[in-house]
């Protein structure tokens, strides 16, 4: 569980979102005392937020007195997922790329300095990825993230990375905005981005950017596989296929799909 205080100063709604965010991103179950340690709100205010969220079905309390997101979120998530135009347009192209490679395919969009995964087609192999639709990952150490960044001007990339606390997940993780920008130049030249075991040891991927003409949606797609099963040479052999899938999606996207974040 992170010790950094989460501070939403946008009124009652912002305070409620802070509670939901803390519980959603925590790697361990959170009880009320845990929330007081990571959310910058008076104890009484925090208690009211939790009570309201429980009453509305947005939170549930477990047998061990920890909290989890409520089932009402499943309804919201299902509606958001099914009505997402970007995901719907991309879906047949993700499946086609999966048929070609047999490996896990991801589709994600940039939100600030993170990648939010919108869709995933699982590998046909016995060993699969633990990633989930709706989860987020840092953009600086993922193929989809770096691919998406390559579609943005350097000034915006620097702005997005300026407040990032670069976590070195592995020995190959990029750990500075300058290192990311250097690789962005290579991505723009080749049309492909790589995750060279930068986020998780033993896992690598090849990606390509996907974006609307006005950059209102910016993201990417990737083929991800364990290194022991798919050597670098095989991953690189899919470079053109990944680019072609990304291009096919972009040809079907409208110029503008919504505000960029």
What are the pLDDT digits (tens) for 219-253?
A: 999 999 999 999 999 999 999 999 999 999 999 88
- 126, HSE (Cβ side, Cα atoms, 13 Å): 1
Structural fold of domain 84-252: Beta-Lactamase (3.30.450)
Q: Looking at residues 192-200, what average pLDDT do you find?
A: 96
Helix axes 43-55, 12-25, angle to 10 degrees: 80
> Could you tell me the fold of the domain covering 12-76?
Arc Repressor Mutant, subunit A (1.10.10)
**Amino acid 105: pLDDT:** 94
Beta strand extents in the chain (DSSP E only): 59-61, 67-69, 104-111, 114-121, 136-138, 193-196, 203-211, 218-226
Judged against a pLDDT cut of 70, whether residue 50 lies above it is answered with: yes
* pLDDT tens digits, one per residue of 114-152: 998 888 888 876 555 555 666 789 999 999 999 999 999
What are the structural domain ranges in the chain? 12-76, 84-252
Work out the angle at residue 142's Cα, subtended by the Cα atoms of residues 128 and 18, and round it to the nearest 5 degrees. 95
Q: Which residues of 79-100 are buried (b: 16+ CB within 10 A; e: fewer)?
A: eeeeebebbebbbebbebbbee
């Amino acid at each position: 569980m992170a010790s950094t205080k989460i501070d939403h100063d946008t009124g009652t709604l912002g305070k409620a979102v802070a509670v939901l965010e803390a519980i959603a991103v925590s790697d361990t179950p959170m009880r009320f005392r845990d929330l007081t340690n990571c959310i910058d709100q008076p104890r009484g205010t925090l208690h009211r937020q939790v009570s309201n969220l429980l009453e509305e079905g947005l939170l549930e309390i477990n047998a061990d007195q920890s909290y989890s997101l409520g089932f009402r979120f499943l309804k919201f998530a299902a509606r958001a997922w099914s009505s997402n135009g970007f995901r719907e347009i991309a879906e047949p192209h993700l499946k086609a790329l999966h048929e070609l490679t047999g490996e896990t395919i991801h589709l994600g969009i940039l939100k600030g300095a993170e990648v939010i995964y919108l869709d995933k087609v699982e590998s046909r192999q016995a060993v699969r990825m633990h990633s989930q639709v709706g989860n987020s990952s840092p953009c600086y150490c993922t193929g989809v993230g770096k691919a998406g960044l390559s579609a943005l001007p350097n000034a915006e990339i620097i702005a997005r990375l300026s407040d990032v606390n670069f976590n070195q997940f592995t020995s190959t993780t990029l750990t500075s905005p300058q290192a990311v920008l250097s690789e962005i130049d290579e991505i723009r030249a080749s049309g492909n981005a790589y995750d060279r075991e930068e986020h998780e040891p033993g896992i690598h991927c090849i990606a390509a950017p996907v974006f609307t003409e006005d950059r209102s949606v910016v993201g990417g797609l990737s083929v991800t596989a364990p290194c022991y099963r798919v050597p670098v040479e095989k991953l690189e052999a899919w470079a053109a296929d990944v680019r072609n899938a990304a291009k096919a999606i972009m040809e079907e996207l409208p110029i503008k799909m919504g505000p960029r974040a």
